[in-house]
Amino acid sequence: MDRKWIKRGIENLKEEFGKENVSKAIDIVKSFEVEIPSWALGPFGGGRFGNYTPPGYAKNIEQKLDDIAFIHSLTGTGIYVATHILWDFSKDGMEGDYDIAVKVKKLCEERGLKLGTVNPTYFLTGSEKGSFISPSESTRRRYIEQTILGGKIAKELGNSILGLWFPDGSLYPGQIDLKAAYIRMKEALIDSYKKIPEEVTTLIEYKVFEPGTYSTTIPDWGTSYLLAKSLGKNAGVLIDLGHHHHGTNIEQIVATLIAEKMMCGFHFNTRYAADDDHAVEPNQEMARIFYELVKGDVITGKHKWAYMIDQASGRENRIHALLHSIDSLQLSLAKAAIVNTEKIEKLRENDEIIFANRLFNDATINADIRPIVAQARIEKGVPVDPVKTYLESGYQEKIENR
């Protein structure tokens, strides 16, 4: 990607999509920020299939933060680190510990990073009958206390965002009382929310399956929306790309939530068969989603949503996969930003449905928008090709020996 090629590409794009759209796309790519979760760098993956972890994976929080700081130095896409309470702030995997969170915040600061979204962990030891829907009062209480602690950490040490994902659900019809489960979930959420500081935004994530295979207590955005509404104005919906039935029109969910002025968050990843948690790919779905996010003005500014990469891959080299995700997000964002909505609207008025579709596809599928992303990186002062810079940097060799 030499400078001449970038310049020529920008000129061509301006000619086709309009000067303003191209400048807008460069600016929005420049300002897009996304949180990196600590767990994306860790030993996840493999499972019962060979127990493989790629060379150089991070073995402790210090190493995870080193890797996130390195990724930030190459991309400039944000200094916020998302954490999971029982993975990052706990001695025993059962209770959260405020003092450990203070230490992790300090470790972040030493590396020029900050604590981002705090995620209470509802799915480790003792959650086999659920967390907030557990029939055991003491189990529910333990998780409520962890949620309240999460709210305190989010406000005092983090960026005031709390992300809640519950593994609650069931494997077989008849196993649990679906209505009672929903009510327990709602009551425990209300109990927690009352003690979460006002400044904190509590985002409720939904997932249609896993670990529940027959039911999950919060299966879809509608249920998240209902629960968020019953909590109050500081609660919202958390969308994870991997958590829907196949073929779900996720951009329409986004459009609806923006129309309803709901505060939301987004977990990016790519899925094929299930919740695969693969690195993000710059496919058209991603561009269509970004189109709604750009149009809805929630990428930057006052109504900005909370963005995170939720990736936990098996085979892939961690840093390589995260840099690929960031690149894919920026490419998708650039595609979305150059769509000529005014022209599409004119076509709509004349009921030119195929032409409208073709014009949309010209931006979101056919255009080569890499020069926009490259230009944004030049203006930001980060490498034009972060993957290449990483491969040439010697960082990977270094971490394989740590």
By C-alpha distance, which of 87, 105, 104, 107 is closest to 95? 87
Q: Which of 30, 105, 267, 335 binds ligand PSV (CB under 6 A)?
A: 267
Q: x/- contact string, 253-272, with Mn ion (CB under 5 A)?
A: --------------x-----
Q: Using CB distances below 5 to 8 A depending on partner kind, what does residue 119 bind out of ligand PSV, Mn ion, none?
A: ligand PSV
Q: Is 275 in the site for Mn ion (CB under 5 A)?
A: no
Q: Is residue 375 part of the contact set for ligand PSV (CB under 6 A)? A: no
Smallest gap from Cβ 77 to ligand PSV, in A, equals 19
277 binds Mn ion (CB under 5 A): no
Does residue 266 interact with ligand PSV by CB under 6 A? no
Q: What is the footprint of ligand PSV within residues 308-337 (CB under 6 A)?
A: 310
Based on CB atoms, which residue is closest to ligand PSV, 275 or 292? 275
Q: Is 240 in the site for ligand PSV (CB under 6 A)?
A: yes
Q: Using CA atoms, how far apart are residues 269 and 114, in angstroms rounded to an integer?
A: 22
Min dist. Cβ of residue 39 to ligand PSV (A): 6
Task: Tell me phi and psi for residue 59, to 5 degrees.
Answer: -95, -15
- How far apart (Å, rounded) are the C-alpha atoms in residues 162 and 148? 10
H runs (alpha helix) in 260-317 = 284-295
| β pairing state of 215-216 and 201-205 | unpaired
Tell me the site size for ligand PSV, rule CB under 6 A: 9
Q: Which residues contact 171 (CB under 8 A, 6 or more apart)?
A: 212, 213, 214
**Residue 119 engages ligand PSV in binding (rule: CB under 6 A):** yes
267 vs 318, beta carbon nearer ligand PSV: 267
Supply the minimum distance, in Å, between the C-beta of residue 119 and ligand PSV.
5
- Shortest Å distance, C-beta 119 to Mn ion: 9
User: C-beta of 22: minimal distance to ligand PSV in Å?
Assistant: 34
35 is an interface residue for Mn ion by CB under 5 A: no
Q: Are strands 114-119 and 169-170 parallel, antiparallel or unpaired?
A: unpaired
Cβ-based neighbours of 296, under 8 Å, separated by 6 or more = 254, 255, 258
Question: From the CB of 275, what's the least distance to ligand PSV, in Å?
Answer: 5
168 binds ligand PSV (CB under 6 A): no
How many angstroms separate the CA atoms of 76 and 150, rounded?
27
Q: Which CB atom, from 241 or from 262, has the smaller least distance to Mn ion?
A: 241
**Does residue 244 bind ligand PSV (CB under 6 A)?**
no
Judged by beta carbon, residue 119 or residue 234, the one nearer ligand PSV is 119
Closest listed residue to residue 162, CA positions, set 170, 152, 172, 174: 152
What is the smallest separation between the CB atom of 123 and ligand PSV, expressed in angstroms?
Answer: 7
Selected from 35, 88, 168, 240, the binder of Mn ion by CB under 5 A is: 240
Tell me how far apart the alpha carbons of residues 397 and 391 are, in angstroms, rounded to a whole number: 9
| 3-state SS class at 204 | strand
Give residues with Cβ within 8 angstroms of 322, minimum separation 6: 36, 40, 41, 71, 279, 309, 311
Shortest Å, Cβ 86 to ligand PSV: 11
Q: Does 278 sit near Mn ion (CB under 5 A)?
A: no
Shortest distance, position 102 Cβ to ligand PSV, whole Å: 22
Interacting positions 306-335 with Mn ion (CB under 5 A): 310
**Residues contacting 353, CB < 8 A, separation 6+:** none
Rg (CA), the chain: 21
Beta bridge partners of 216: 169
Q: Beta-carbon neighbour count of residue 272 at 10 Å?
A: 9
Q: How far is CA 211 from CA 163, 167, 188, in A?
A: 18, 6, 20
Verify binding: residue 122, ligand PSV, rule CB under 6 A. Answer: no
**Size of the chain, expressed as the number of residues it contains:** 402
Q: Do the Cβ atoms of 274 and 210 come closer than 8 Å?
A: yes
Among Mn ion, ligand PSV, none, residue 35 binds (CB under 5-8 Å by kind):
none
Q: Is 205 in the site for ligand PSV (CB under 6 A)?
A: yes
Judged by beta carbon, residue 236 or residue 383, the one nearer ligand PSV is 236
Pick from 35, 168, 251, 275 the residue near ligand PSV by CB under 6 A. 275
Which parts of this chain interact with Mn ion (CB under 5 A)? 240, 267, 310
Q: Footprint of ligand PSV on this chain (CB under 6 A)?
A: 39, 119, 165, 205, 207, 240, 267, 275, 310
